[in-house]
Chain A
Amino acid sequence: MSRQINIVRSSAVPLNIENVDTDQIIPARFLKATSREGFGKNLFRDWRFENDDDNRPKPGFRLNDPTYGGKILVAAKNFGCGSSREHAAWAIKDAGFDVVVSSFFADIFKNNSLNNFLLPVTVGEKFLQTVFNAIETDPKTELEVDLPSQTIRLVGPGYEHSEAEKFEISDYKKTCLLNGYDDIDYLLSVKDDIQRYETERAI
């Protein structure tokens, strides 16, 4: 699993449903594991499969459709709302995605994704619709997500002149993702400051 993100070019899987909560991404009954691995097989469990005793994939659900694939998940507004379970980010990453695109992410999910080198890319509604339409027209359509320049655009034949959309990310987080650092690395490096804060506060 990649701990660094730079430029991701790939086709994408569309999931045009609003308010997708983390209970859908990974239902609670699959949170009993004590390791971080293996959650991908139960990603969107109840939308992908008939039931727990029946592993037949539900037809019509985009993640079951071999027409769609790639390292980018394109989702609708308010993706990742609800429970703080980081297992949701683990499941998406474990299923092979490096980027999630949406017009709006829930707060905790966004942090969890960044902490797992799964890049949440927030784009405007208009751009999001353009991407959904492009994938509907041709499922092989590719997107290029360029973290250094903080841009995302449609690429490939027909999109030579397509406009890139800028996305926001703090310089700090960008550095983390480009280099594979995490917040704990940073926090441990400022341990003296933390202890000084504790001492001064106690006085």
Chain B
Amino acid sequence: MGKTLFDKIWEKHVVRTIDGGPSVLYIDKHFIHEVTSPQAFAGLDKRGIRVLRPEQVVATADHNVPTIDQHLPIREELSRLQVDRLKKNCSEHGIELYGLGHPYQGIVHVIGPELGITQPGMTIVCGDSHTSTHGAFGNIAFGIGTSEVEMVLATQCLMQTRPKLMRINIDGTLNAGVVSKDIVLYILAKITASGATGYAVEFAGSAIRALSMEARMTICNMSIEMGARCGMIAPDETTIEYMKGRKFAPTGDAWIEKLKYWKELYSDKDVVFDKEIEIRAEEIEPMITYGTNPGMGVGVTGHVPNLSEIEEKEKPSFEKSLAYMGLQPGVNIRGKKVDYVFIGSCTNSRIEDLRMVASFVKGKHKANDVEVWVVPGSKQVEKQAIEEGIDKVFEAAGFMLRQPGCSACLGMNEDKIPAGKYCISTSNRNFEGRQGPNARTFLASPLTAALAAITGKVGDVREYYKNRELLIAGQEN
């Protein structure tokens, strides 16, 4: 019998296996950031050991950095101390740091791929659950806790149990106005926020093959929201084209050698997955979440479930969630007013996302009572956006283009949504308090968020694609 994409990579990285227990898995690349690494370095110090392979570790500051005035010292003391600690740890252990002010600084899951550090067939970890993003290149990439960060720093290995394997096939053609974020929110609504726990998920099918690398990253990024250990997509011509010429991509003979390996990375025809799910791309509409976990989503023309549609046992959690969101069972989401629009995060802050938003809002202006933040994923994305004049489009639309970082996705820095306000967000989590204490989050695609920025409410972006004139009609308040 053939092998799965997952097993081909897994088997290549197992150093040894304990009988009836976990395997020692070798890690090729380790990304670290300021929030989940200081205790790991302190642990090394306590044990009196050094980082084993500093050249395989890359660091950036993203979670806890301001997104304005990045040239100034960080005002908030604890945040500054945390970022300084990262600097000190990296310099003491010889680790490359793309910190504030560096032209490569940005959200860890944006910079890895854009610099070509992320490559097919690798094992990649980071003390951040959205490490699953890198799986878009055909990697085993997953988030780890700080004790595990310490393990990888100390030994370049982790203790891991092989997960079960699931494949989600999405075949067909997406409707105009439906993008990769909608695919992943649709899957989440179908299988729930725990539907893939214990599994590594491979995304396959013609609709996936048709996506760009950046769109694929959005899907793998949110595989953790289904509980998956990791998400992955087999590398193909699109992947190889993307890799070419990247800063840290292999060159010359090394490139030819790597290509041979990359081209073997797919699930063989006769493999059997522990679970397989089929989805038609045509059935997917622009999605929006109404609740407090990413599995609580519906199509924009849908409604919040009625109590009768919810299992008895799940009612208390459902009602708690709606109470937090200030929504009633059965109401339509469409037409719901929003106060903030956040375009950013490791899910949707890449140049294609910014281009998508800019092409939609060009010549239009935001609704008066809406505040719009666009936070590019990296310095390189920011630079590219400025070169393409996207910054001018945003400025004319009344959007605020900020500087790179995780920002309002997790509300760790000052970028918080005020209590009780509604934010339509291109990020990945609508948990209670995620974007600020008592902030209310609707997760959506960059297009659906852009539409809400212009109209001030949740709408169906497909209507604008049916009628191109509407799309370029300008302000519509």
Q: A residues near B, CB below 8 A?
A: 16-19, 21, 23-24, 27-29, 31-36, 46, 51-52, 76-78, 81-87, 89, 104, 106-108, 111-112, 115-116, 170-173, 182-184, 186-188, 190-191, 193-194, 197-198, 201
Contacts and interface: CB of A to CB of B under 8 A. Distances in A.
Contacts of B38: 34-35
A102 to B, nearest CB: 11
B168 interface: no
B198 interface: yes
A28 B410 contact: yes
B155 A188 contact: yes
A172 B21 contact: yes
Contacts of B47: 184
A194 B24 contact: yes
B198 A86 contact: no
B433 A24 contact: yes
Contact of B432 (A46, A89, A172): A46
14 contacts: A17-B317, A19-B293, A29-B412, A78-B194, A78-B227, A81-B227, A82-B225, A87-B146, A111-B145, A111-B148, A183-B158, A186-B159, A187-B151, A194-B26
A21 B431 contact: yes
A129 to B, nearest CB: 9
A89 to B, nearest CB: 7
A172 B15 CA distance: 16
Contact of A170 (B21, B142, B432): B21
A46 B433 contact: yes
A170 B22 contact: yes
A89 B35 CA distance: 15
A182 B22 CA distance: 13
A111 B169 CA distance: 29
A83 B427 CA distance: 13
A90 B47 CA distance: 20
B206 to A, nearest CB: 30
A69 to B, nearest CB: 22
Contacts of A52: 437
A199 to B, nearest CB: 12
A106 B227 contact: yes
B211 interface: no
Contacts of B4: none
Contact of A81 (B81, B148, B159, B194): B194
A32 B78 contact: yes
B188 to A, nearest CB: 12
A187 B293 contact: no
B157 interface: yes
A77 B316 CA distance: 13
Contacts of B224: 82
B42 interface: yes
Interface of B: 15-16, 18, 20-22, 24, 26, 35-36, 38-39, 42-43, 47, 49, 63-64, 78-79, 81-82, 85, 127-129, 142-148, 150-151, 154-159, 161, 163, 193-194, 197-198, 224-225, 227, 229, 293, 295, 314, 316-317, 320, 410-412, 429, 431-434, 437-438
Contacts of A172: 18, 20-22, 159
A202 to B, nearest CB: 12
B159 A187 contact: yes
A193 B24 contact: yes
Contact of B159 (A36, A112, A183): A183
A44 to B, nearest CB: 11
B82 A183 contact: no
Nearest to B230: A107
Given A24-B431, A86-B36, A116 B147 contact: yes
A82 B194 contact: no
A33 B128 contact: no
Counting from the closest, the 4 A-B pairs by CB-CB distance are A172-B21, A86-B145, A112-B145, A34-B38
B429 A31 contact: no
Given A76-B317, A112-B145, A182-B147, A19 B193 contact: yes
A28 B78 CA distance: 13
B400 to A, nearest CB: 22
A62 to B, nearest CB: 13
Given A83-B128, A170-B20, A187-B159, 11 more contacts: A17-B317, A36-B39, A83-B129, A85-B145, A86-B145, A108-B145, A115-B145, A183-B158, A184-B151, A190-B16, A194-B26
Contact of B154 (A18, A76, A83, A184): A184
Contact of A115 (B21, B78, B148): B148
A181 B317 CA distance: 37
B7 to A, nearest CB: 17
Contact of B437 (A18, A51, A190): A51
Given A86-B147, A89-B145, A108 B15 contact: no
A172 B227 CA distance: 24
Contacts of B143: 84, 108
Contacts of A188: 49, 154-155
Given A21-B293, A76-B317, A108 B194 contact: no
Contacts of A76: 317
A31 B79 CA distance: 9
A108 B155 CA distance: 20
A42 to B, nearest CB: 12
A23 B433 contact: yes
A106 B197 contact: yes
